[in-house]
Amino acid sequence: MELIKDTEVRSAYQLLKDSVNHTPLQYDRYLSEKYQATVLLKREDLQKVRSFKLRGAYYAIKKLPEADLKKGVVCASAGNHAQGVAYTCHELKTRAAIFMPTTTPQQKVSQVRFFGGEFADIHLVGDTFDASAAAAKKYCEENGMTFIDPFNDKNIIAGQGTLALEMMTDAESEGYKPDFVITAIGGGGLISGVASYVKNTSPTTKVIGVEPKGAASMQAAFEEEQPVKLTEIDKFVDGAAVQRVGEITYSHSREYVDELMSVDEGLICSTILDLYGKQAIVVEPAGAMSVAALDLMKDQIKGKTVICVISGGNNDINRMAEIEERSLIYEGLKHYFVVNFPQRPGALKEFVSEVLGEGDDITRFEYTKKSNRGTGPVVIGVLLKKPETLPDLLKRLKEFDSTYIELSQHKTLYNLLV
């Protein structure tokens, strides 16, 4: 397979430069001081559709023959690619049938409707991207339209690579020589485009691809030496929850990517909150992955120059409670237990005074089963003041109820009760 190189990316840039934003490459003082490195952020969250996906979608559609463009296009997307296709079709006045998983955040569905206007028809089908894509391809065949793949397409890859052309050009003009470029991986379109340009223009710069721990489909492909379908994925990082990467993106990643790493969804949540709280940067889970990876690379990047691609900022505000919850659990501050409570007055007060530590708090208290017996099971959430006090809490908890259950150790029970 012939791979995309910097020449194809330059050609794509010439077509796109008047249609997409040249997003800024910003020095980040907070992250630079935190990791004792020079950290630069490529702000694709400031793109027209708040995501890099516009680049590939616009280029792939614009490259279609006029006859195919008149028939319209079809796409499947967890949200951002759909927005890019919708925006493009509105600009070019061509029809788009857009298939999205039923799990897509409402904010992204609403944005697709806004960007596409009268030119976009939305179909919510399937629980995963892969199920939605299968329905989209069937619809495409039945209606004689062109399928715009979200990642496994050379024009998509070349379009996404234009952000790398911008950031490497801007870095050079500002006197930076990047040691690392870190970017997210979902289906692999972004990493393929970025890595193709970077490795062909700056071979010594290391390209790091980051996946969510619960959907590491590129890592699985590397291990099996071919794309494979994951049997189960965590859909939380909706922009990167892909069960199987593409053949084309796998080939590009194999050739150009220096290292893959996976980050815990909880760390991603902590990064989202940190970026918002410290710098007022709003990112979606997939958009935070490159910055989250810094925490795993802190020894490796000390004294180095690092570019993190902020791939998107389409975060649904309704998800913030879940994001905070996952962050607290990851940081070791929030814990859930099933505890047998004596069914008598004063039992909860006794628990608070004898089991909880100073500054600890109860965030949930719910009987799972009412009975006439002397005790009843309670789901209790505890928020610690400091994570290191957990061993002492568990010791006191065992004295209160020797049969307590720590729900983090029982995934099925946790999903059922919490």
Residue among 373, 403, 396, 239 at smallest CA distance from 319: 239
SS3 49: coil
Long-range contacts of 67-73 (CB under 8 A, 24+ apart): 68/146, 69/94, 70/94, 71/144, 71/145, 71/146, 72/96, 72/97, 72/143, 72/145, 72/146, 73/97, 73/145, 73/146, 73/147, 73/148
Spatial separation of the C-alpha atoms in residues 236 and 379, rounded to whole Å: 24
Q: Which of 262, 311, 327, 334 is catalytic?
A: 311
Q: Which of 53, 154, 199, 235 is catalytic?
A: 53
CA dihedral angle for residue 57, residue 61, residue 63, residue 68, rounded to 10 degrees? 160
DSSP annotation of 345 = T
Look up 53 and say whether it is catalytic: yes
Both tokens of 97, joined, read 């049938």
Angle subtended by helix axes 189-201 and 6-16, to nearest 10: 110
Asked whether the beta carbons of 407 and 338 are under 8 A apart, the reply is: yes
Spatial separation of the C-alpha atoms in residues 181 and 161, rounded to whole Å: 13
Query: CB burial class (10 A; 0-12, 13-18, 19+) of residue 55?
Result: buried
Asked whether the beta carbons of 310 and 45 are under 8 A apart, the reply is: yes
Task: Work out the number of other CB atoms within 10 angstroms of the CB of residue 244.
Answer: 20
SS3 223: helix
Look up 5 and say whether it is catalytic: no
Q: Which residues are catalytic?
A: 53, 311
